[in-house]
Amino acid sequence: MFRNLIICLSLLISCISQSFAQNTRNVEKELEELKSIKDTVVLNQKIAELALGSEEDIKLLSQFGLAQGWPASKWEELASKRLTKEERKKNEVQNKFYKEKDLNKKIAILAEMEKNFPKEKYGYNYALLARDFAMAGNFKKAMACLQKTKGEDRSMAWAQLALVNDPNISKQLALRIDQNLLQKNLPKAERLMLLNVKRFLFEQKEDYKNAAIIAKEAMNLNPNPSQNEIDHYNILLSKSGNYRAAFPALEEMINKETEDEEIKSEYKKAYQFMYPNRDAKAHLDSIGNSRVKQYEAKYKNYNGENLIKEKAPEFELLDVNGNAVSLQDFKDKIMVLDFWATWCMPCKAALPGMQLLVDKYRNDPEVKFLFIHTKEITGESFSKVRDQSLAYFKSHDFTLPLYIDLKDKDTKKNKVADRFKVAGIPHKLIIDRNGFIRYSGVGFPGSTAELAAEMGAIIETVKKLN
């Protein structure tokens, strides 16, 4: 399963890279042509040709496979066509290693791999074994496996151990880290990793004061710390109650229009500390509203250049009460559909902007919003998906109209997302009064204010259409 996931993710990354690259091939057109082939024999022949073709052919086929919801076995088959007989044999043994649950048998499989393929490196395997033994409560064997790793694999092993949710293992890990940090000849990269793991362990215990101290030590060791490291250090300062020291950096992040919810939360607390007689929420809302107005000016002359006209498919969704709703229930209304999921980070990042949009049109009876939770994990029930979604909305003060698009029991596809040809999420669509899709967009531009302003401009343009 692990290897199949790696294959799927690798191909997905290729697909994403393809979408940003300048390319003479019209992949989108080719993809639609591939989807339109109804003859199974012809389709399978085309798939076989692409599987043996160039890297661009593989990327095209990957996009097709993702859209069709291919099972893991199909990804494995596709990958195997690119491998030599020797590589396939090695991968079979690797797959056996990943699937094995018995740790003693796992060690035996790894020994077999080292014997039969001595030129290969197995630090990654030992890093995973270190994690597995730690999860089983055997810290001694976990460290023995870690000692067989080097470089990036060693760093990954430490990180894997830090993620083991066991207080006893965490305590032993912290002691071992302190012992290693005493070594004067410890490579700088490993020292940095150990400091970061130590910081993480403090954060797990919500000891933000010590976490901030360790984060500062790591930054001092690195002459060019990344912006993420600097930002996180200031978040830790704030979480430890040192609002005065953290406030200038947090304010700078807010002024740069950060979309990081943790930064916004800590800034709100720091602002309230610095200005106890002011309303922190009102202050943040005013900043957000000011930015929306700036972007509204940008889209003031929007003339509908990216509008389309496609007949919207009939569909049936479930509302939060489990009642079915369809396209006909929104007749003569302008519909804004947002396909999203609680596991999707870009989807969640876009929701604050969509909340601004919902607030703007709250009293407009002509515009209806549908936040459609889709592509849930297989086996999830309606009540579980609904409750998880509503809990997320409540925790972030979202008042968004929720609908559920569950997987079909037979096809294993999300019926409504499939009808609207939704491959990636978040995917937003706007449907006019006459039932035509006038806008379709995937992803999140990175700015809450800009998303609200752009979508608002599109809605206003669609409202003027006959």
401's torsion region: left (phi>0), alpha (psi -120 to 50) or beta?
beta
Determine the pLDDT at residue 14.
38
Instruction: Give every CB contact of residue 346 below 8 A, 6+ residues apart in sequence.
Output: 425, 426, 443, 444
For residues 435 and 311, is the Cβ–Cβ distance under 8 A? yes
* pLDDT (average), residues 241-264: 90
* pLDDT (average), residues 412-428: 88
- What totals of helices (H) and strands (E) does the chain contain, helices first? 21, 8
Determine the pLDDT at residue 379.
61
List pLDDT tens digits, range 5-57: 333 334 333 333 333 344 456 666 787 788 778 677 777 788 878 877 776 77
The pLDDT > 90 percentage for the chain reads: 43
* pLDDT (average), residues 240-264: 90
List pLDDT tens digits, range 131-155: 999 999 999 999 999 999 988 888 8
Q: How far is 292 from 286, CA to CA, in rounded Å?
A: 10
**Range of weakest confidence among 16-20, 194-198, 242-246, 386-390:** 16-20
Determine the pLDDT at residue 439.
93
Q: How far is 249 from 228, CA to CA, in rounded Å?
A: 12
Determine the pLDDT at residue 20.
39
| Whether the predicted pLDDT of 247 surpasses 90 | yes
Determine the pLDDT at residue 242.
96
List pLDDT tens digits, range 432-449: 999 999 999 888 877 888
224's torsion region: left (phi>0), alpha (psi -120 to 50) or beta?
beta
* DSSP secondary structure, 214-229, as one string: HHHHHHHH-SS--HHH
Q: How far is 49 from 40, CA to CA, in rounded Å?
A: 14
| Whether the predicted pLDDT of 430 surpasses 80 | yes
List pLDDT tens digits, range 259-291: 778 888 899 999 999 999 999 988 988 888 888
Nearest CA among 5, 66, 10 for reference residue 34: 66
Determine the pLDDT at residue 5.
38
Six-digit token pair at 210? 């010590």
Determine the pLDDT at residue 22.
40
Average pLDDT of the residues of the chain: 85
Domains in the chain: boundaries: 2-82, 310-463
Determine the pLDDT at residue 214.
95
User: By 3-state DSSP, what share of the chain in percent is helix, strand and coil, each rounded to 5?
Assistant: 60, 10, 30
Determine the pLDDT at residue 63.
72
CATH of 310-463, one of 3.40.605.10, 3.30.479.10, 3.40.30.10, 3.20.20.140: 3.40.30.10
| Whether the predicted pLDDT of 329 surpasses 80 | yes
Determine the pLDDT at residue 48.
78
Q: Which residue has the higher pLDDT, 83 or 231?
A: 231
Six-digit token pair at 233? 């250090």
3-state secondary structure of 5: helix
Determine the pLDDT at residue 15.
38
Give the number of other Cβ atoms within 10 Å of residue 146's Cβ: 24
List pLDDT tens digits, range 190-202: 888 899 999 999 9
Determine the pLDDT at residue 428.
95
Determine the pLDDT at residue 28.
67
Determine the pLDDT at residue 456.
92
Determine the pLDDT at residue 243.
97
- At 3, is the pLDDT very low, low, confident or very high (cuts 50, 70, 90)? very low
Q: How far is 288 from 449, CA to CA, in rounded Å?
A: 7
Q: How far is 24 from 27, CA to CA, in rounded Å?
A: 9
Determine the pLDDT at residue 11.
38
* pLDDT (average), residues 116-133: 91
Beta strands 334-340; 427-431: pairing state: antiparallel
Highest mean pLDDT among 258-267, 348-357, 409-418: 348-357
- At 73, is the pLDDT very low, low, confident or very high (cuts 50, 70, 90)? low
* pLDDT (average), residues 420-432: 90
